[in-house]
Amino acid sequence: MMSPNNYSRTLIEIKQTVKTRVPLIPFAGIARAVLNERYVLSLVICGDTLARRINRTYRKKDYSPNVLSFPLGEYEGEIFLNVRCAEREARAAKMNVRERIALLFAHGCLHLRGLRHGTVMENMEKNILKKFGF
């Protein structure tokens, strides 16, 4: 039997499938702030090709999204974060790429928590980013 201490932190595994330098972002801290402590999260940092393929396969939509979230269980999920799309969006909005990636990650975590787009989600995103100095 596992002790309660084994559930004291959100576990996050990060896989990078695209060759790009990803800015330093407190992914684990953001995940802990949004998700249950017992949550096990897989973060796949990818580009357009994989994001489009996953979107087409699992959502039947043919475009490259900026982020995709898939709950796998009550305390388990996976996020695909398309850094190529995030870079383009940051340039178009004249914003910092690091901040855009952090926002998309927080957005994906909030979807895993069950939130949908809207004012509540936007306010939570702002509060999370502020908490982490963005």
**What is the pLDDT tens value at each position of the chain, 134 positions in all?**
333 344 445 678 888 888 888 889 999 999 999 998 889 999 999 999 999 999 999 999 999 999 999 999 999 999 999 999 999 999 999 999 999 999 999 999 999 999 999 999 999 999 999 999 99
Match 């306010």 to its residue by tokens: 123
* CATH top-level class of 4-122: alpha beta
User: For residue 109, what is the DSSP state?
Assistant: H
Proportion of the chain in helix, strand, coil states, percent, rounded to 5? 50, 20, 30
Q: CA-CA distance, 134 to 129, in Å (whole number)?
A: 5
pTM recorded for the entire structure: 0.89
Give me the count of residues in the chain. Answer: 134
